[in-house]
Amino acid sequence: MKAFVKVVLLCSSSITLAMGCAPKEKAHTELFQVDQTFMPYVQNFELVASEQGKDIKITDIIIQFGPTNSINETGVCEITTNETPRITINQGIWNALNNNDQQEVIFHELGHCIEHRLHQEGEMLGFNNRQIPVSIMYPYRIPGTTYMANVDHYHEELFSKSNEF
Ligand SMILES: [Zn+2]
């Protein structure tokens, strides 16, 4: 598994989850603490969101290098009520990736931590009739070449759904 999402939500029903939880999620002081390595991808995430018609300014996130749950896990997003969402990236894996791979990794984790997307398992026919994951939220890392060959689809899909938990 590429990433594990820890979600702790205290609302008592799915209806209050959709509406009532939002203000409580900001009951802590916002913190923007992003390792410089990841800044270009955070800025690209906001840019791509705006291209997709979503005005997103990320003000509350921690992105850092650190240990993940296994040596094969590239990144993890942790969301805990009343805390700043935290993304941890395995530096050994990161260093072996090219820029496209790296952007896919950060967009996937921001998909969890900012867009509140869950994993999407499905596949579809992509560019050149190749079988590809339907979403950047696929549980396993999508190679940067596949990501960029289908980038319009992946970016549209990423921002067309949100707040799924
Ligand atoms: Zn994930």
Q: Write down the pTM of the prediction.
A: 0.83
Q: What is the distance in A from the centroid of ligand 1 to the CA of 158? A: 13
What's the rounded Cα separation, in Å, for the pair 67 and 78?
13
Q: What is the distance in A from the centroid of ligand 1 to the CA of 108? A: 6
Q: What is the distance in A from the centroid of ligand 1 to the CA of 163? A: 15
Q: Provide the pLDDT confidence category of residue 2 given band limits of 50, 70 and 90.
A: low
Q: What is the distance in A from the centroid of ligand 1 to the CA of 50? A: 22
Fold of 5-160: Collagenase (Catalytic Domain) (3.40.390)
pLDDT: which is higher, 1 or 28: 28
Q: Provide the pLDDT confidence category of residue 7 given band limits of 50, 70 and 90.
A: low
Q: What is the distance in A from the centroid of ligand 1 to the CA of 151? A: 18
Whether the per-residue pLDDT at 133 is higher than 60: the answer is yes
Q: Provide the pLDDT confidence category of residue 19 given band limits of 50, 70 and 90.
A: very low
Residue 40's alpha-carbon distances to 6, 36, 106, 138, 143, in angstroms, are 26, 8, 10, 22, 19
Q: What is the distance in A from the centroid of ligand 1 to the CA of 69? A: 12
Whether the per-residue pLDDT at 147 is higher than 90: the answer is yes
